[in-house]
Amino acid sequence: MSNEMFFESAVALAQRLRSRQVTAVEVAETFLRRIDSENPRIRAFTTVSHDLALSTAAKCDEAAAAGHFLGPLHGVPVAIKDLFDFRAGVRATLGSLPTKDLVPTTTALHVQRLEDAGAVIVGTTNAPEFGHKGVTDNFVTGPTSNPFDITRNSGGSSGGAAAAVAAGMVPLAQGTDGGGSVRIPASWCGVYGIKPTFGLIADVTRPNAFITSSPFSSVGALGRSVDDTALMVEAMAGPHTRDPLSLAATSTPVTEIARDGLKGRRVAFSADLGGIPVDPGVAMVIEESLGSLESAGAVVEPVDIRLPADQMELSLLWGRLMGALYSDSLIGLKDLGYDLLRDHQDELTPAFRDMVVAAQTRTMMQARADERLRSAVVDSIQDAFAGYDFLVSPTLAVTSVVNRNDGLTTGPSEVGGVAVDPSIGWCLTYPFNFTGQPAASLPAGLSNGLPVGLQIVGQRHDDAGVLAASAAFEAASPWISTYPGLG
C-alpha cells in the first residue's frame, strides 16, 4: 500500500472490504508490516499479535466469500490498550515490570464487542504503569514517541493508541479515560479522541463492579476523523447486565451524526477552566480555532468557571481518587498471583507506588470529604453550562514534552511560572472525569509544529451532540493533511 492508504479512513476501508476490493488478509498483512517498520522508533505497541490478526482476517474473508459480513468493522485493523483491556491469549503488561509477562485468559467486554463487529486486533498499545499519569513511559517498554517529533512524548495514558493512529499504523485504536487518558494523547498526537458519557460503553469489572465510578473512568476511542471514531464507539456501546452502572441503549445511534451539529448552538468558552494556567502558544491556537466554531454556525461566548478549589488541590483530589482505584485493582491481581505491594514495591514507578501506598491509610470519612469536593466541582461546571449546549476549552495547557530515557517522563511541574502537578495538573481534562460528561479532543492547529487540541464537552447523555459538533468543526477546519509521513 502507498502511504495514502495507511491514512485512509476506517469508514472508507470498511466499505472497500465489504465490496471485496481488498481482502482482510491483505489489509492485515500490510498494516502488520507498517507496524513492524514504524514501531521501533515510535514504541506505540507493546505486543504485536501477528498470528491472531492473520487468523481473524482469514475468518473475515471466509465469511465474506459466503456472502456474510461480520459487522461494521469487518476486516478493519484495530489496536487495544495494554491495561485491563484484555484479549485472551494476548500479553498484557499493564506497563508494569511485575506483570510484564501476564497473559490473560479472558477477554474484556468492549474488546469482545470490537471483534464481534469484525475488527482485526493487531496488538496492544503502550501505557504508563496502570495508566497513572498523563504521559506514556514505563520501565517495560520505555516512552512512546510523538509522530510529529519523536524526541517528544505521545501523551497518556492511551499514548500508544494515539501515536499508532497518528503514524498510520492502525486506522482506529481503543483507549480508556480516567483523567484525560484518551483526550490527552489525542491532543498531543493530533488525532480525534472521545471519552463518552460514563456508562455508555459497559465495562464489566471484577471483583469490584463499581471500581470505575470514582473518578468516572470510561472506555473510549481514537481515530483520525470523527466519523471513524464514532464507528468504533458505536461498536462498543451498549449496556450489560453485569455492569450495574451501564446506561440503556440510546434510541439514536451515535454514528448518525448531523452535519450541521453546531448550527445555532450556544457554546461556552473557558480559556482556563477557572484557574489552570495555559501556555500562551496553546492559548493563541485555541483562540484562533473559535473562528471555526463560529463559521460552523455556533454562537461562542466566554464564561467564568468558579471551581471550589485551586487547580493544585483539585489535581491532588484526582490523585487520591485514582490511588484508591489502583489499590482496588491490585486486589484483583492477587487472584492472578501478583501481590505488588508485598513482593514488588521496588519495581514500581515511584509516583504510582506513592499513590497506592497513600490510599492504604485513607479513612472512609476522608474519602467522603473528597466526594463532597468532587460534588462541588460538578456544580461549578453545571453553573457554567447554564444556557449553553457545549463547553469548549484547551484540552491541555502545553504541547508535548521531551522524553526521558529512564522510564520517568512526566508532564511539566509549572506552566507560566505557576506550579502544577506533573502527573495531571497541566491537563484541562480531569474535571470531566469528576462529572462523567462526554468530552472530546479535536486537532485545533499547531504551535511550533506540535499539535494543540480543542476540548468539546457536552451534557451527560449527549454523545451524539458532541460527535455532531466535532464533525462540524472538522468540516470547517480539516486536519487530515497535517500528519507526518502522509504522502
Pull the grid cell for residue 49. 499479535
Length of the chain equals 487
Q: Kindly report the number of other CB atoms within 10 A of residue 89's CB atom.
A: 13
Residue 143 grid cell: 516512552
- Coil, strand, or helix at residue 59? helix
Torsion of the alpha carbons at 246, 250, 255 and 261, rounded to the nearest 10: -110
Residue 194: count other Cβ atoms within 10 Å of its Cβ. 30
Q: Out of 49, 145, 181, 217, which one is annotated catalytic?
A: 181
Active site residue 481: no
For residues 244 and 209, the answer to whether their CB atoms sit within 8 Å is yes
DSSP code per residue over 458-487:
E-TT-HHHHHHHHHHHHHHS--GGG-TT--
The answer to whether the beta carbons of residues 402 and 466 sit under 8 Å apart is no
Is 216 within 8 Å of 181 (Cβ atoms)?
no
- What Cα–Cα distance (Å) separates residue 445 from each residue in 71, 222, 396, 477? 34, 18, 13, 9
81 included as an active-site residue: yes
Cα–Cα distance, 200 to 249 (Å, whole number):
8
What is the distance between the alpha carbons of residues 115 and 55, in angstroms, rounded to a whole number?
12
> Cβ-count burial of 317 within 10 angstroms (0-12 exposed, 13-18 middle, 19+ buried)?
buried
Residue 181 appears among annotated catalytic residues: yes
Catalytic one of 49, 81, 158, 270: 81
Q: Are 87 and 108 in contact (CB under 8 A)?
A: yes
Q: Which residue in the list 154, 157, 315, 329 is annotated as catalytic? A: 157
| Residue whose grid cell is 482506529 | 172
Burial class (CB in 10 A: 0-12, 13-18, 19+), 404: middle
> DSSP letter string over 82-148?
SSS---TTS---TT-GGGTT---SS--HHHHHHHHTT-EEEEEE--SGGG-SSS---TTT-PPEETT
Contact 374, 289 (CB under 8 A): no
Q: Are 44 and 6 in contact (CB under 8 A)?
A: no
Listed residue (174, 161, 168, 171) closest to 233, CA to CA: 174
Cis omega (within 30 of 0) for bond into 484? no
Torsions phi, psi of 48, nearest 5? -105, 120
Residues paired with residue 81 on neighbouring β-strands, in sequence order? 125
Which residues belong to the active site?
Answer: 81, 157, 181
